[in-house]
Amino acid sequence: MFSRVCLAALVLTTSMSARAEQDGGVEATPSEAAPVSRTLFDVLAAEVRRLKEELALPAPTYQSFSGLGPAASKVYFTPRGLSLGGYGEAYYRFRPGPNATGETDLLRIVLYAGYRFTDRIVFNSEIEFEHASTERGGSVNVEFAYLDFKLFDALSVRAGNILMPVGFVNEIHEPPFFFGVSRPLLERNLIPATWNENGVGLYGEYRGFRYRAYLVNGMRALKEGTNDGFSAGSWIRGGRQAGAVAIAKDLAGVASADVTIGAVRLGASAYFGGSGQGKQVDATPLAGELFLGEAHVAVQYRGLWLRGIMAWGHLNEAGQISAANGATVGQDVLGGYAEAAYDVFTLFQPGGDQSLSGFVRYESFDLHKSVAAGFSRDAAQSRQLVTAGVHYKPIPNVVLKADYQHVFPGAGAEQRSINLGLGFVF
């Protein structure tokens, strides 16, 4: 590209010199030089325009690959080399009542960086900056970083720090692609999204059927140092190791499968593994075997979106873990949610870039469905939530959100909040 511009400039200079020599060293008049100059300058201008077009970044493709979010999938649609993307979200939350409170937060800014070495070897990563500043409670985390070795569509290998393919939002957690200012509470406290661990496994897709199956390091049940361990209010969330010097004495397996038939997607996933990581409780080795499973359905037809999920889990040796952590950790947990949304713009502007969707979501879950013998069930760990609001997208990758959420705990005061948010992907 650069050589063509240089060549055009060289031709222009040489031609002008030659013309001057032909004129016996006498400078040509403007009328004589104009045709040659105009032609050569037109060539030079055309080459400069071509150079600018070729240097410009191509229009991005926002399409999900292997269950990942559209922005996280950009590297798979890049012909070769470096791919950059990301997303961000911020919110304002007001809690009305006698002791009304309000808060705002730049919740997260995320950078996706990927590199397509060849058609068959791809690196992909997500780096997340939370809460604006590490000096004020924020953090910087790797959410995933892996290598893909693509054999063919139905069978590929993935190795590194991997997102667990459980639920809806753990893999697709970009703000324009889920309803509500905040992610569903069930997929934060029962399914601990965002959830990533180090491991290796297989994935593939064939004629509407998609699967992922990985072997990863297990979770870490016991509270120790900076590790939160399992707890009453968020069950296994504090046991995520996220690839940070992760203990891997106990391993785990996770697998998911989805099938898409027309407008309907059906799927399920399961996780099973130990969480003791070689620790002992009262001089007895702790296995801490953990099972978490879920089944889900999603329907997208024109402007209508429907989806629902049921999740359940069981923790062996919940009594020993509860005693060691000083908190009653659920032995059995159960929950689900149903969600419906409709884009009114499909009524009068089908296929346009803008959308305006109203939605409602009902969640119900119990993190103390049962507890170990000798421990008391806490009714406050059973919650029902209703969230209703609107999403407006001026373009597909930018969203403005507003919703109202009402939480009904099994015990204690009800909680209400009015939430405003924005999000984007690039």
Phi, psi of 242 (to 5 degrees): 60, 20
Task: Mark whether 51 and 173 lie in a shared domain.
Answer: no
Within 10 A of 230 (CB to CB), how many other CB atoms are there? 27
Task: Mark whether 284 and 400 lie in a shared domain.
Answer: yes
Asked whether residue 69 is assigned to any structural domain, the reply reads no
Q: Up-side HSE of residue 306: CA atoms within 13 Å toward CB?
A: 9
Asked whether residue 134 is assigned to any structural domain, the reply reads yes
Whole-model pTM: value is 0.85
Asked whether residue 65 is assigned to any structural domain, the reply reads no
The whole-number pLDDT of residue 226 equals: 74
Q: Cis omega (within 30 of 0) on the bond before 328?
A: no
Task: Mark whether 51 and 80 lie in a shared domain.
Answer: no
Task: Mark whether 185 and 283 lie in a shared domain.
Answer: yes
Which uninterrupted H or E stretch holds 368? strand 355-370
Asked whether residue 181 is assigned to any structural domain, the reply reads yes
Residue from 376, 339, 377 nearest 358 by CA: 339
Cα–Cα dist 372/88, whole Å: 41
Cα–Cα dist 30/44, whole Å: 20
Task: Mark whether 31 and 148 lie in a shared domain.
Answer: no
Q: What does the pLDDT profile of the chain (426 residues) look like in tens digits? A: 444 444 444 443 444 444 444 444 444 454 554 555 556 657 666 665 655 444 444 555 578 998 899 999 999 999 899 999 999 999 999 999 999 999 999 999 999 999 999 999 999 999 999 999 998 889 999 999 999 999 999 999 999 999 999 999 999 999 999 999 999 999 999 999 999 999 999 999 999 999 999 999 999 999 987 789 999 999 999 999 999 999 999 999 999 999 999 999 999 999 999 999 999 999 999 999 999 999 999 999 999 999 999 999 999 999 999 999 999 999 999 999 999 999 999 998 888 899 999 999 999 999 999 999 999 999 999 999 999 999 999 999 999 999 999 999 999 999 999 999 999 999
Task: Mark whether 95 and 28 lie in a shared domain.
Answer: no
Asked whether residue 173 is assigned to any structural domain, the reply reads yes
Within 10 A of 255 (CB to CB), how many other CB atoms are there? 18
Which uninterrupted H or E stretch holds 34? helix 30-55
Asked whether residue 68 is assigned to any structural domain, the reply reads no
CB contact at 8 A, 215 and 203: no
Per-residue pLDDT tens digits for 80-127: 999 999 999 999 999 999 999 999 999 999 999 999 999 999 999 999
The whole-number pLDDT of residue 351 equals: 84
Task: Mark whether 9 and 129 lie in a shared domain.
Answer: no
Task: Mark whether 129 and 212 lie in a shared domain.
Answer: yes
Asked whether residue 63 is assigned to any structural domain, the reply reads no
Residue 53 DSSP SS3: helix
The whole-number pLDDT of residue 4 equals: 47
Give the range of the structural domain holding residue 41, as residue numbers without chain letter.
Answer: 2-55
Task: Mark whether 110 and 8 lie in a shared domain.
Answer: no
Looking at the structure of the chain, the number of domains it has is 2
Task: Mark whether 326 and 384 lie in a shared domain.
Answer: yes
Query: 150 is written with which tokens?
Result: 């693509």
Q: What angle do CA 384, 388, 391 make, to 5 degrees?
A: 140
Residue from 44, 75, 72, 235 nearest 143 by CA: 72
Task: Mark whether 26 and 162 lie in a shared domain.
Answer: no
Asked whether residue 66 is assigned to any structural domain, the reply reads no
- CATH number, domain at 264? 2.40.160.10
Task: Mark whether 17 and 134 lie in a shared domain.
Answer: no
